[in-house]
Amino acid sequence: MKMSKMYMPTLKEDPSEAEISSHRLLLRAGMIRRLVSGVYSYLPLGYRVVRKVEQIVREEMDRSGSQELLMSAIQPKELWEASGRWDNFGPEMWKLKDRNSREFCLGPTHEEYFTNLIKDEIKSYKQLPLNLYQIQTKYRDEKRPRFGLMRGREFIMKDAYSFDTDHENMVKAYENMWDAYDRIFTRLKLKYKVVQGDTGAMGGKVSHEFMAMSEAGEGLVAYCDHCDYAATDEKAKVIYEISEQSTEELSKEKVYTPNLKTIDELVDFFKIDKSNFAKAVVYDVNGKGIVVIIPGDRELNETKLCNYLGIADHEIQMADEELILNITKANKGFTGPIGLAEDARLIVDSRITKMKNLVVGGNETDYHIKNVNYGRDFEGEVVEDLLLVREGDICPKCGEKMEMARGIEVGNIFQLGTKYSESLKAKFLDEDGKEQPFVMGSYGIGITRTVAAIIEQYHDENGIIWPLNTAPYHVIVTVINTKNEDQMNLAEKLYEELISTGLEVLLDDRNERAGVKFNDRDLIGIPIRITVGKKAPEEIVEYSLRTSPEDRKEVGSSSIVKLIDEEFKKAGLNY
Ligand code: ATP
Ligand code: MG
């Protein structure tokens, strides 16, 4: 492609809306443009990268035995009512009506649709296993669309669904997908971890997330360097040593604590350690007050709470002052476990039952109570683990200390079981002629999010540094002075020669200053660079790589193809 003709609207300045590198660089490099919040167009350079990522995903999915098809983005309400997700999916679902007021959604995912597709056509165990996938645009009206392609409201996903006769075969399908994902993310050159995930609204019990490690990631991972345990912060089991507790239960005492509301203020006042406070977190679940008591030095894990309550995350919110007043008869900041209104639900993290002589809110404005003990002074629904993991917690697998890191969830795999086949009545006849529901798995990869993840891992202060196999073009030939005939002739000759070998080549023949062209080529991150300048009459050009721009060498133009071949060989790639 000749850049004089190319639609590549690069920006000189950093766009103010962009908070992370991938978002900033995709906009600056003229690869994407925003239409409205969370909705983007993929411009020519950006779309080439999207297609390359898709192609790697496609090749490995095909190799795994999955078959590609393409379903509609529009799905009728009835399908989702059958699974119970029309309401449960919550406000993330884009809903719409046709001219006859029939209701539809724009698919946020396709479990129901795939199950429905095969249910009338796959009748016998002999037709199983089956694994189908598509690469398609998904719609989710995210609460906080942000970070460019990282969290869009319209985005491209690869989604696959497996159908098996029983649990054991489904686990095989799951492991097969896991292997395919390993091959995909390895080929994409991502540094990633596979971590246990929460299954949430998806159903099923086992899931894993593929996390591209990056400080810009919205996901937090707890992992152990001593064994292979790794889990998302939502999922990670929390084990830690509770500081030594006194054996004696002291007598309960009401203490006047005017205006002391935060744990830090209380620590100053009582002169005891944070861990001896019991923190009350008050939620509103469909109008009902729920008080959760956890150790004062820990944070509550909302996902674990939702799983315990059996609700989706959009059904829970922090209680407002009015609800707090109703159930505690006190202002916010003085909630505790003793003397709550009858209709409030009291939930207690199991660690609280092992701690002694706690300070709790008094359920009376300006009062706390000290020396409170579980069992003697209050009781509630005890849940083993409602806490958010943090660095230094004990690994549930090997007992060593865990670390925390940030990551971008680029893919995940779910063992769904029979949730969808049962609710949609999708059954086959087994070997004994008995009807059985399909045992299913589902497997997603965020294609456009993966593009952003690659940039997060491969960039510097000047721009993107594309790996060779996802770069929009392999090679860029820059002409220093386009008015110079020798330079233009040699550049055109090289350009034609490289294209004819099958390489993807850009020719920067724009009538711009050399500095502008150099900046742009750094910004758009083309891996192999050739500069045609003053030594064109001798057929000498400059050769360099985006990964090490300072290593420039002068070479005869006839040796360029060989140098490029070596680069591909080093990367284990063909062109
Ligand atoms: P998240 O926790 O980030 O919201 P999710 O668990 O909702 O992700 P899935 O429903 O499993 O995601 O979707 C499969 C994949 O699609 C994810 O692993 C992710 O890579 C991608 N994805 C999900 N939501 C978005 C989004 N809003 N924008 C871009 N990609 C997304
Ligand atoms: Mg989501």
pLDDT tens-digit series, residues 260-282: 878 889 999 999 888 899 999 99
Instruction: Give the residue-averaged pLDDT of 535-545.
Output: 98
Smallest-distance ligand from the CA of 449: 1
Residue 112 tokens, joined? 């129901």
At a CB cut-off of 8 Å and minimum separation 6, what does 222 contact?
Answer: 230, 231, 232, 233, 236, 389, 393, 402, 403, 404
d(CA 566, CA 101): 61
| 114 C-alpha to ligand 2 centroid (Å) | 20
DSSP E strands, 513-575: 528-532, 540-545, 548-556
Which pLDDT value is given to residue 523?
98
Nearest CA owner, ligand 1 atom 18: 411
**Which of 409, 445, 450 has most ligand 1 atoms within 8 Å of its beta carbon, as the pocket-test mutant?**
409
Instruction: Give the residue-averaged pLDDT of 138-162.
Output: 97
Q: Which helix (H) or strand (E) holds 221?
A: strand 219-223
Instruction: Give the residue-averaged pLDDT of 384-409.
Output: 97
| 38 C-alpha to ligand 1 centroid (Å) | 13
Give the pLDDT confidence of 54-90 residue by residue, as tens digits: 999 999 999 999 999 999 999 999 999 999 999 989 9
| 360 C-alpha to ligand 1 centroid (Å) | 39
d(CA 180, CA 183): 5
Nearest CA owner, ligand 1 atom 25: 151
d(CA 16, CA 3): 27
Which atom of ligand 1 lies nearest, measured to the CA of 197? 6
Indicate whether this model's pTM tops 0.85: yes
Q: Is residue 246 within 8 Å of 299, Cβ to Cβ?
A: no
| 442 C-alpha to ligand 2 centroid (Å) | 15
End-to-end Cα, the chain, rounded Å:
17
Instruction: Give the residue-averaged pLDDT of 158-177.
Output: 98
Smallest-distance ligand from the CA of 444: 1
d(CA 546, CA 49): 17
Which pLDDT value is given to residue 494?
98
Which pLDDT value is given to residue 246?
82
Smallest-distance ligand from the CA of 234: 1
Instruction: Give the residue-averaged pLDDT of 106-116.
Output: 98
**Which of 142, 184, 449, 451 has most ligand 1 atoms within 8 Å of its beta carbon, as the pocket-test mutant?**
449
Smallest-distance ligand from the CA of 204: 1
Q: Is residue 353 within 8 Å of 374, Cβ to Cβ?
A: yes
Nearest CA owner, ligand 1 atom 27: 151
| 122 C-alpha to ligand 1 centroid (Å) | 29
Which pLDDT value is given to residue 245?
82
At a CB cut-off of 8 Å and minimum separation 6, what does 421 contact?
Answer: 115, 119, 163, 427, 437, 438, 439, 440
Nearest CA owner, ligand 1 atom 19: 446
Residue type, 453: A
| 551 C-alpha to ligand 2 centroid (Å) | 43
Nearest CA owner, ligand 1 atom 1: 409
- Closest residue by Cα to residue 353 from 372, 374, 378: 374
| 110 C-alpha to ligand 2 centroid (Å) | 14
Q: Is residue 86 within 8 Å of 136, Cβ to Cβ?
A: no
- For residue 413, what pLDDT band results from cuts at 50, 70 and 90? very high
| 232 C-alpha to ligand 2 centroid (Å) | 14
Smallest-distance ligand from the CA of 140: 1
Q: Where are the alpha helices (DSSP H) in 525-559?
A: none
Chain mean position to CA 279: 30
| 135 C-alpha to ligand 2 centroid (Å) | 18
Instruction: Give the residue-averaged pLDDT of 172-191.
Output: 98
Smallest-distance ligand from the CA of 185: 1
Q: Is residue 501 within 8 Å of 554, Cβ to Cβ?
A: no
| 412 C-alpha to ligand 2 centroid (Å) | 11
**Which of 207, 412, 454 has most ligand 1 atoms within 8 Å of its beta carbon, as the pocket-test mutant?**
412
| 267 C-alpha to ligand 1 centroid (Å) | 40
DSSP 3-state of 342: coil
Report which DSSP code applies to 16: T
Rounded alpha-carbon distances, angstroms, from residue 73 to 92, 222, 441, 490, 542 = 15, 35, 20, 49, 49
Q: Is residue 294 within 8 Å of 263, Cβ to Cβ?
A: no
Instruction: Give the residue-averaged pLDDT of 359-378.
Output: 96
Which pLDDT value is given to residue 275?
87
Nearest CA owner, ligand 1 atom 2: 409
Number of H helices, E strands in the chain: 14, 31
Report which DSSP code applies to 401: B
| 465 C-alpha to ligand 1 centroid (Å) | 25
d(CA 185, CA 458): 14
Residue type, 395: C
Q: Is residue 1 within 8 Å of 506, Cβ to Cβ?
A: yes
Q: Is residue 119 within 8 Å of 426, Cβ to Cβ?
A: yes
- For residue 201, what pLDDT band results from cuts at 50, 70 and 90? low
Which atom of ligand 1 lies nearest, measured to the CA of 145? 27
Which pLDDT value is given to residue 315?
92
Which pLDDT value is given to residue 203?
65
Report which DSSP code applies to 11: -
* pLDDT above 70 for 446: yes
Give the pLDDT confidence of 484-511 residue by residue, as tens digits: 999 999 999 999 999 999 999 999 999 9
**Which of 139, 157, 314, 408 has most ligand 1 atoms within 8 Å of its beta carbon, as the pocket-test mutant?**
157
- For residue 205, what pLDDT band results from cuts at 50, 70 and 90? confident
- Closest residue by Cα to residue 144 from 313, 21, 22: 313
Instruction: Give the residue-averaged pLDDT of 113-121.
Output: 95
Nearest CA owner, ligand 1 atom 22: 446
Q: Identify the residues whose C-beta falls under 6 Å from ligand 1.
A: 109, 140, 142, 151-152, 155, 157, 409-412, 444, 446, 448-449
DSSP 3-state of 471: coil
- Average pLDDT of every residue of the chain: 96
What percentage of the chain has pLDDT greater than the value 90?
A: 95
Q: Is residue 152 within 8 Å of 220, Cβ to Cβ?
A: no
Instruction: Give the residue-averaged pLDDT of 296-307.
Output: 96
* pLDDT above 80 for 200: no
Smallest-distance ligand from the CA of 152: 1
- For residue 393, what pLDDT band results from cuts at 50, 70 and 90? very high
- For residue 202, what pLDDT band results from cuts at 50, 70 and 90? low
Residue 536 tokens, joined? 């064109």
At a CB cut-off of 8 Å and minimum separation 6, what does 346 contact?
Answer: 291, 293, 337, 340, 378, 379, 380, 381
